A and B are shown apart, each in its own frame.
Chain A
Amino acid sequence: MRRTVRLLTGAALAVAAAGAAGAPAYGGSSGSLDVYPSTAAPGAQVTVNTSACGEKGSAVGDASSVGAGTFTLAPSTHEGEAIGEFRVPPSAQPGTYEIVAKCADGTRQVTGDLTVALTPAAGQLQPHGSVKTGVGGALGTDPVQTAAGVAALAVAAAGGTWLLHRRARGDAF
């Protein structure tokens, strides 16, 4: 057990060192492989993308761990990312699989995890109920404005009363 841990630590250090050595050449581009969706059902289409291969860098993807074989990540204009896709075999078993992409120039390799779960599309978890997307901040009158309005109406009422009284008394208007 201890030996395993040591081996894994060594491997991790080696990967970290390789990453550190490779990084400057790509101006600090991120070194991971985005897998979308990260959880997929057997038969589903999965998209992966990475910026690790630099501008206009393509890569070879390997999804053989889940039984999908190799595929190509083509460069896209989107933020210098290489994008590819593969289909999870309908026979894939639930579990977590490592998806690997190796840059075409051979300098760099990135990985990402794909979780296969047996959730049929029809049974996909749906939200339910209404959505809380407002607090009423766009409406409702300012309290200061309300107070000013009430005060103005009070003045109007007083003035009106005064004038009506004078009229009732027959004074000159």
Chain B
Amino acid sequence: MRRIGDTAIAAVTVVALGSGVYLLGPGSGPHDAPPQPAAAEGRPDPGEERLEAPALSASPPTRIRIPAIRVNAPLMGLALTAAGSLDVPPAGEKNLAGWYEAGTTPGERGTAIVAGHVDNTEGPAVFYDLGALKRGATIEVDRRDRSVAVFTVDAVEVYQARNFPDEKVYGAAERPELRVITCGGGYSRTTGYQGNVVVFAHLTGSR
């Protein structure tokens, strides 16, 4: 009788231990932390840069597609906040990205800027997988003049907010370039995400 009791207790102990570890273990939340770029994605391969396409005329973008991470989202115009940082789309819309309307349009010569949420209170949002993007991946931007600007990813970097390289991210470019920005760089419960994942791309085609 005692033997059966002991076996039962041993069994319960093992099951409880297993489920406790499972419930508290890493990756057991509703979702894992969003992917962050590997250091290698920030290093341009010498001589591997794809051909540059000639600049397009100015036309506002309407949609962004990044097939490698299954992004297909409409774009809204974004302005600056009172503090001078780029404003963001409403957090409630999880499949919506924005572009900096007072800046360069994607495809035009210069640096066009697109931003979107990595997550909202509900869970992952439009650019959740942005940090998993690799060099050489394709980003397509539909424009109002019916053309499609095709960009190729040059680098994927992560920058801390307290030491953000403004000139590198937002600075003017001689050729048509694109930046795609979302939150990243570690998360703290008190201060939120510590920085941004930034994708650098340049125009390699259009249709």
Contacts and interface: CB of A to CB of B under 8 A. Distances in A.
Contact of A138 (B19, B34, B58, B181): B34
A16 interface: no
Interface string A139-159: 111100110111111011001
A70 interface: no
Interface in A36-54: 36-37, 39, 44-47, 49
From B117, B122, B127, residue with most partner A Cβ within 10 Å: B117
A133 B182 contact: yes
B100 A127 contact: yes
A145 B23 CA distance: 6
B20 A152 contact: yes
B118 A126 contact: no
Nearest to A122: B172
A137 interface: yes
Contacts of A131: 85-86, 88, 115, 181-183, 196
A127 B86 contact: yes
Given A47-B57, A126-B170, A133-B88, A152 B193 contact: no
Given A128-B164, A133-B196, A172-B2, A121 B91 contact: no
A132 B88 contact: yes
A142 B58 CA distance: 47
B195 A130 contact: yes
A148 B23 CA distance: 7
A118 interface: no
B29 A134 contact: no
Interface string B168-198: 0011100000000111100101001101100
Interface of A: 36-37, 39, 44-47, 49, 76-78, 83, 85, 121-122, 124-142, 145-146, 148-153, 155-156, 159-160, 162-163, 166, 171-173
